């Protein structure tokens, strides 16, 4: 038996979809405004997951110009049929619902097949019936008119795989389990023991999130509600329960007939969620034709025992942007980027200073990693000679309206290190240290600064490190605003390197010698 600790994918990896091909399992996640889009993972035991790429790794696949942090790519689904992998998703910032395909899940994936106005709404999924017919299932506003916010419905329609177009009639199939349910989202179709099953998320991807299910002998319905709905939720456990927002599940079986569900949930820390929505795992059994999630428990477990042989995985303890042999699948930038703003060589990383700022809905010079835990030490060593109004250094990024910068910059002809917090688009300088009398480290005749952030739960300490001393710039500062509860939206925090000239033309660069996060 292997034991795995939930979440199985730490940090901002929401809306998981899973499929099995032989003994191989694959998961994809939403990516919203970040590029490359739709991270894809591989495992043979549901416990040890390795990112093998990103499905949308070309600008032509994923137009994100001008999109907000919680727009862009929503709720992907991955499926496999007769030698081809299919990923279907929604780009709410342009293009709507589309499909890409690949013969190798690590890529390359095709250019998008746009489904256009024939496929309104969001959160599409695909189902391949026993005769090979492919069906599209998605959620849309009620065509006869929306009576209240979230008054949507689920529909099914055949998809022609030769033209990648929807054909035939669109069939309304389900509205969700509850009377006047809101946001019936993330629907998936399955077939088991003569029944078609629709599983969906409803209640909104927040405190009332839930997984519900219905079944029918006919793919187009009518569908009967499971009398035990919802089959999974944490909304009844109260605001203080440490795991919240549970929903948006997808089912998979293994070669031995065991069933599992992956779903999103969030870990609360001191009342706030800064990691975003993460991927969790639960066991499933079938009773009287209905799935039971974690039988006898009825909620997510901290540790899941799996019937596979091998060594249980260790949690991720270290992240870096510096390894030149690293595949860099986990590094992200904002929106569409030509990726020429940074260059990597052995032992260093250079970032071109961009006129763009974090507040703008553009592509700033930002290269980051998803924050994985609430306790970490992030360290960055870099050389930078700023011109007036230029800045470079660390950023804890929640959105373009909520972030914390720990940067070296020039103000009134003086080089300073500042801690700047932005909340609701308003920046406030929390601390500042002039560098004139500070003892730099010397590296190849350049002055090198090391900045360090030590975060514990919802507090962080910002330290400037020199060759023989450290100075705490700001101690135990509140960082709870970098959370879903304050900032809103669907994303988690990114820890990144950032450089901006604040609208001025420049050819300046920052040279990074170390960027690492220890958990």
| Catalytic status, residue 185 | yes
Count CB neighbours of 102 within 10 A.
17
What contacts 199, CB < 8 A, 6 or more positions away? 187, 188, 190, 211, 212, 213, 249, 250, 251, 291
**How far apart are the C-alpha atoms of 211 and 282, rounded to whole Å?**
13
Is residue 78 within 8 Å of 89, Cβ to Cβ?
Answer: no
What does the block give as tokens for 469? Answer: 């001393």
117 is known as an active-site residue? no
Helices (runs of H) and strands (runs of E) counted in the chain: 1, 40
**What does the buried/exposed string (b/e) look like for 428-449 if buried means 16 or more CB atoms within 10 Å of the residue's CB?**
eebbebebeebeebeeeeebbb
What are 18's two structure tokens? 């899973």
Phi-psi region of 103 (alpha: psi -120 to 50; beta: other; left: phi over 0): alpha
Q: How far is CA 216 from CA 66, 173, 196, 224, 423, in A?
A: 42, 10, 5, 6, 49
Integer Cα distance of 97 and 134 in angstroms: 16
Catalytic residue among 15, 45, 123, 391: 15
> From CA 192, how far away is CA 178, in angstroms rounded?
24
Output the CA torsion sign for 314, 318, 319, 324. Answer: negative
The two three-digit tokens of residue 484, written as one number: 């879903």
Catalytic member of 185, 202, 415, 481: 185
CB 493 within 8 A of CB 482: yes
- H or E segment to which residue 487 belongs: helix 484-487
Q: Are 62 and 33 in contact (CB under 8 A)?
A: no
Which pairing describes strands 290-293 and 278-287: parallel, antiparallel, or unpaired? antiparallel
Which of the residues are catalytic? 15, 185
């Amino acid at each position: 038996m292997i034991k795995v600790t939930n979440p199985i994918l730490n940090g901002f990896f929401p809306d998981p979809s899973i499929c099995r091909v032989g003994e191989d399992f694959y998961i994809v996640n939403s990516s919203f405004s970040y590029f490359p889009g739709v991270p894809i993972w591989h495992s043979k035991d549901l416990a040890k997951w390795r990112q093998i790429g990103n499905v949308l790794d070309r600008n032509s696949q994923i137009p994100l110009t001008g999109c907000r942090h919680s727009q862009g790519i929503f709720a992907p689904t991955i499926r496999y049929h007769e030698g081809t992998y299919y990923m279907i998703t929604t780009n709410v910032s342009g293009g709507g619902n589309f499909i890409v395909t690949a013969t190798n899940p690590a890529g390359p994936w095709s250019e998008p097949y746009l489904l256009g106005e024939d496929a309104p709404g969001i959160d599409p999924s695909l189902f391949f019936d026993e005769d090979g017919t492919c069906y599209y299932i998605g959620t849309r506003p009620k065509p006869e008119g929306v009576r209240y916010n979230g008054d949507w419905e689920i529909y099914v329609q055949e998809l022609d795989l030769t033209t990648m177009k929807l054909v035939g009639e669109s069939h309304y199939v389900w509205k969700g389990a509850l009377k006047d349910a809101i946001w019936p989202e993330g629907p998936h179709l399955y077939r088991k023991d003569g029944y078609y099953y629709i599983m969906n998320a409803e209640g909104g991807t927040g405190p009332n999130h839930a997984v519900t299910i219905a079944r029918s002998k006919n793919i187009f319905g009518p569908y009967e509600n499971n009398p035990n709905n919802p089959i999974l939720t944490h909304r009844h456990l109260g605001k203080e329960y440490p795991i919240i927002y549970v929903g948006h599940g997808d089912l998979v079986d293994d070669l031995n007939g065991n069933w599992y569900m992956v779903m999103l949930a969030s870990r609360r820390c001191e009342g706030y969620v800064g990691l975003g929505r993460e991927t969790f795992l639960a066991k499933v059994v079938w009773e009287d034709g209905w799935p039971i999630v974690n039988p006898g428990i009825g909620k997510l477990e901290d540790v899941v025992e799996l019937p596979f042989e091998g060594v249980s995985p260790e949690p991720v303890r270290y992240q870096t942007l510096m390894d030149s042999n690293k595949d860099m699948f986990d590094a992200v930038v904002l929106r569409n980027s030509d990726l020429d703003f940074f260059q990597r060589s052995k032992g260093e990383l250079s970032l071109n200073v961009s006129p763009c700022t974090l507040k703008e809905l553009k592509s700033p010079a930002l290269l980051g990693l998803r924050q994985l835990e609430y306790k970490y030490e992030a360290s960055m060593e870099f050389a930078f000679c700023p011109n007036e109004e230029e800045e470079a250094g660390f950023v804890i990024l929640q959105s373009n309206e909520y972030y914390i910068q720990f940067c070296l910059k020039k103000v009134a002809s003086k080089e300073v290190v500042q801690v700047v917090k932005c909340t609701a688009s308003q920046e406030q300088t929390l601390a500042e240290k002039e560098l004139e009398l500070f003892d730099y480290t010397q590296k190849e005749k350049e002055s090198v600064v090391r900045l360090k952030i030590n975060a514990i739960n919802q507090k962080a300490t910002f330290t400037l490190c020199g060759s023989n001393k450290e100075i705490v710039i700001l101690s135990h500062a509140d960082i709870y605003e970098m959370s879903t509860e304050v900032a809103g939206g669907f994303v988690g925090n990114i820890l990144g390197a950032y450089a901006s000239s604040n609208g001025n033309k420049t050819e300046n660069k920052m040279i990074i010698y170390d960027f690492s996060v220890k958990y």
